[in-house]
Amino acid sequence: MGRGRGGGGRGRGGFRGKNKKGGDRRDVRTEPWSDIRRENALFESYYKTGGFLDEKEFEQMWKYMASDLPNSFRFTGTKADALAVREIFKKRYIPAITAVEFEGEPVQPPEPVKAFPDELVWHMKTHKKVIRRYKPFAEFQRFLVAETTAGNISRQEVVSMIPPHFLDVRPGMVVLDMCAAPGSKSAQLAEMIHGDEEERVKRAASNESFNATDDGDYSDDGRSTGLLIANDTDYKRAGMLVHQVKRLNFPNLIVTQHDASIFPSIEMPPAPGSTKPQYLKFDRVLADVPCSGDGTARKNPNVWQKWTPRDGLGLHNLQLRILMRGLQLLKKGGRLVYSTCSLNPVENEAVVASAIQACGGTSKVQLVDCSNALPELIRKPGLNQWKVLDTSHINGEEKINHMFTSYESFLNTKEKYEKEEPARQFSNKITRSVFPPVDAPSEAERIPLERCVRVYPHLQDTGGFFIAVLEKLDDIKVAQPGASSKGKAGSTDATPVPVQASEHSDATPQLSAEDAVPSAPSPTKRKLEDTEDDAASKRFRTETEDPAQDATNKDGTTTSEPVNDTTSSTPGPNGTSQTPQPRLKSESQSQKEYFEYLPKDDPTVSDILSFFGISPRFPRDRFLVRNKEGLALNKMYYTSELAKTIITHNKDRGMRFIHCGVVMFVSHKIKDKDAMKAPWRLQNEGIKILEPWAGKRIITCKSRDEFYRLLIEMFPKLPKDGSHELGEVGEQLMQLDIGCCFLRIEQDESQGFPFRMVLPVWRHPGSANLMVDKDDRKAMLLRLFNEENPRIINHVMEKAKEEAEKESAEATEEAEGETEAKEEDTEMGDAPVGTE
C-alpha cells in the first residue's frame, strides 16, 4: 500500500526489458522478495559501531529494520473534504475490522499516527495473512483503492510525509520541490499553498467581505497567490509526478523536467521603471534528494543484498550540488528542507555542514531548531561526529573494511597501503567534505548539526529518515561544488569553496549551456519503485492538441523521444570515456510540449463564459491551450496568474515545462454543435474553480435518490414531451437549452451528503448525463451509498446493443428465409415431370 520510492537508479525488482541504450535491465534475483534474507554483516556493522545509538537501542532499532513496514495512507484535498472522508472511514470500516478475531485475539485495526494533526494520517500493522482471510479487510481495501483513484487518499510512507510539515508553507508562498517524483510530497505542498481558499472565493464571488491576508495571501479575489514548481530530472518519473498531482486539480502548479543540481533561473518581468529582467526567488524549497535509500530496508528487501558504503559516497557530491542550487534559488529569509531516506551521515549531516561552509558559514545560512514542528514526532538529534566506512580491494578481491574518523586518517591509511600494497584501491569519492567539520573558533561559528532530525525505525514503527531545515540569512555566492580547493583537476580534496557574497550574486542572469544540459546523468530518487508508481508511469501520456504529437505507444508514452537532462559519453583515447561539452539544444529539439495562452478577448472564451453567466470579475486571460498555433481546438486549461507569468516569460528560454493548469473546458464534438450556443463541456477537474462565479445553468440536487439515479445511470431519458424519473433535477434540466450545466449539491448530513459537491451535467435533446467517468461514479457510490460492486447502466450503449442484436436477428431471419426458399426451389426442380 505504501507509495514509497527506491533510488539510485538501479532498476525496480521484477522489471524485465532493456533500457534506451539497449542495456539489459533484467532483475537477476533467484528468490522472491519474501525469501530474501534480511542480513548484511557490513550494513549492520557500520550502523552498530558508527556511534549512532548505544548498543541496547541499536539492537531494538535493527530488529525493526528487519521487519515489514506497516501500511500507511493520508487523507488529502481540502481540509473539509479530507475530514469528511476520514469520518466515513472511521464510522464504516473501523468497527467492522475491530470486530474481527484471529486465533482468539482481536485484530488490531488501522490507527491514526499521533505525530500528525487531525487524524489525517493512518497506518495498519495487521499481518498480510489476516488481511487476506477476512471480508472487512477486503471491503476496506476497495475503499482505499476507490478513494485513491478519486484523489481523496494518498498511500504514502509515514516518514515521507514529514518534510512538508517542517517546511512551514503558507498560502501565497512560491515553493520549489527540486526532486519531486513520484509526487506525494508535492501533493502535500500543493494543499498547503491553496489553504482554505474555497470559502474565501465563495465569499468574494458573493460580494461578501473576507480576510485576504489571514494565514497567507488570498488577495486574488480569495484565491491563493502562491505557486508550486515540482521538478524531476527523469522524463518517466516526471510522468508519475503529473499523474499524482493532476488528481488534486490545483491551478497554482507547474511541473518541470530539469537536473535539480543546475535548475535554471526563472526570468520574471522587469520592475516598474526598469528594463532589466528579474529572476524568481523561492520562499520555500524542498530538496528531497536522490540517496542510497538504506532507511527503506523495511519495504525494499533488495537493500539487504546490495548495500555498500560506496552508495552514500557516490551520491554525496550530487546531493551537495542540489542543496547548493536550492540555497541559491532561495530568498533571503526563506526556508529550505533537505531530506533523505538514508541514515548515512555522509549523505546527511556531511552534506548540510559542507553546504553551510561553502555559503560562508552560519552568518549566511543557519540550521533551524524545529523541535516545535510536529511536537508528537519522536526523533533523535543530528550527529556532530561520525565515521566514514570504505572497503578497499585488490582487483575486486582481498577486501578490507576501514573506518575513518577524519580526512587526514584516510590520507595516512591510503599512503601506507600505497607503499605496502600498491595495487590496493580505495574509493575515489572520499573527500574532505564527507567528514565532520573541524572545530569552529567560536560557538557562534559552530554549525549546530544536532538541530538536524533523525527518525529511526524503532521510534514509532516507521522507515528511517533524515531532515534538516535551513534558513538563508543573506545573499550567497559559491564556487561549483566539487571543484578542487587546491585548483588541481582530479584531486580528492574536493569541497565547495566559499567566495565573497554580493547583493543578488546568486541570481543566474540567463540560461547557460550548463543550465540546460548537465554533464552527467543523475540517479533517480530511490533504489526501488513501488508497483503503483510504475503503473502510473505506464499510464502517463503528455496531453497535447497537436495531431503530430497525439500518437502514443502501448504503454501510454508519446512516440517522440523524451528530452533527457544528460549528455552521452563517447570513447576517448586509450578507451577512456570523454564527456562532450554541454550545449544548449535548439528549440525544435528541446520543446516537445506547447503552452500558449489565449488572449483576454478570445471570442470562444467570451462565448463560453457568457453562456454560463460567469462574473466579469473572473479572470479572462488565464486560459491555456496545448498546441503550437495557440488555438482553442480541443481542451482549455486554467492557471494562476503567477503560473502564466512564468510560462509566458520562459517557454522560449529552454525551460522544459511538462504540465501546467487544470482542464476547464473540452470541446463537445457532435454533428449539430453549430446550432449550440457553447459546444464545450465543463470538466470535473476545473468545475469547482469556476462555479462560485457562475450565474446561469445551475441545477441544485437536494435528494439522495435523485443523485443516486444520476450516478447509477448514464443517459437517463429526459424527453421534450413526456415523463422522466429524475424528479426536481429533471424539472430544472427541462428548462435549459442543450449544453452543459453545473449540478450543485450542498452539504446535508440528513441526505447523506458529507460535503459540498459540484459536478458537470450535460443536457442532451432527449436525455441527461452526469459527466463523471466510471471510476469516479463507483467511488461516489461506495463513499455515499456503500455499494461495493455497482452495475452502471449505460442507456446509450444498451440501446445500441439492442439495435445491433435486432439487426443481427433480422439478418439471420432473412438469411434463413433465403435458405429455405432455395431448398424449396431445389426440391421442386428435382421433382418428376407430371407430378403434382
Separation CA 688–CA 685 (nearest Å): 8
User: Do 623 and 602 contact (CB within 8 A), yes or no?
Assistant: yes
User: Is residue 259 part of an annotated ligand binding site?
Assistant: yes
Q: 79-92 and 135-150 are packed helices; what angle lies between their axes, rounded to 10 degrees?
A: 170
User: Is residue 740 part of an annotated ligand binding site?
Assistant: no
User: Do 431 and 411 contact (CB within 8 A), yes or no?
Assistant: no
Separation CA 40–CA 678 (nearest Å): 66
User: Is residue 180 part of an annotated ligand binding site?
Assistant: yes
With a CB cutoff of 8 Å and minimum separation 6, the contacts of 318 are 261, 289, 290, 522, 523
Separation CA 710–CA 785 (nearest Å): 13
User: Is residue 288 part of an annotated ligand binding site?
Assistant: yes
φ, ψ of residue 223 to 5 degrees: the values are: -85, 145
User: Is residue 183 part of an annotated ligand binding site?
Assistant: yes
| Cell 421433382, located at residue | 831
Pairing of strands 253-256, 227-231: parallel
Closest CA to 734 of 745, 742, 724: 724
- Omega of the bond leading into 182 within 30 degrees of 0 (cis): yes
Separation CA 660–CA 656 (nearest Å): 11
The identity of residue 565, as a single letter, is: D
Separation CA 231–CA 800 (nearest Å): 46
User: Is residue 27 part of an annotated ligand binding site?
Assistant: no
CA-CA-CA-CA dihedral for 514, 516, 519, 524, to nearest 10 = 130
Separation CA 196–CA 172 (nearest Å): 12
Separation CA 106–CA 501 (nearest Å): 63
Instruction: Report the side by side order of strands in the sheet with 680-682.
Output: 596-597, 623-625, 635-638, 662-667, 680-682
Catalytic, 341? Answer yes
User: Is residue 513 part of an annotated ligand binding site?
Assistant: no
User: Is residue 181 part of an annotated ligand binding site?
Assistant: yes
User: Is residue 800 part of an annotated ligand binding site?
Assistant: no
**DSSP code for 171:** T
* Residue 586: CB atoms within 10 Å: 9
Question: DSSP per residue over 478-524, as a string?
Answer: BPPTT-BTTS-TT-S-B---B----TTTT---S--HHHHS-SSPPP-
Separation CA 160–CA 140 (nearest Å): 23
Q: Indicate the helix (H) or strand (E) that contains 122.
A: strand 121-124
Q: What's the Cα-to-Cα distance from 423 to each of 393, 396, 415, rounded to whole Å? A: 8, 11, 12
Options 291, 341, 370, 660, the catalytic residue: 341
User: Is residue 369 part of an annotated ligand binding site?
Assistant: no
* Residue 817: CB atoms within 10 Å: 10
Annotated binding-site ranges = 179-185, 232, 259, 288
Instruction: Enumerate the active-site residues.
Output: 341
Annotated binding-site ranges for S-adenosyl-L-methionine = 179-185, 232, 259, 288
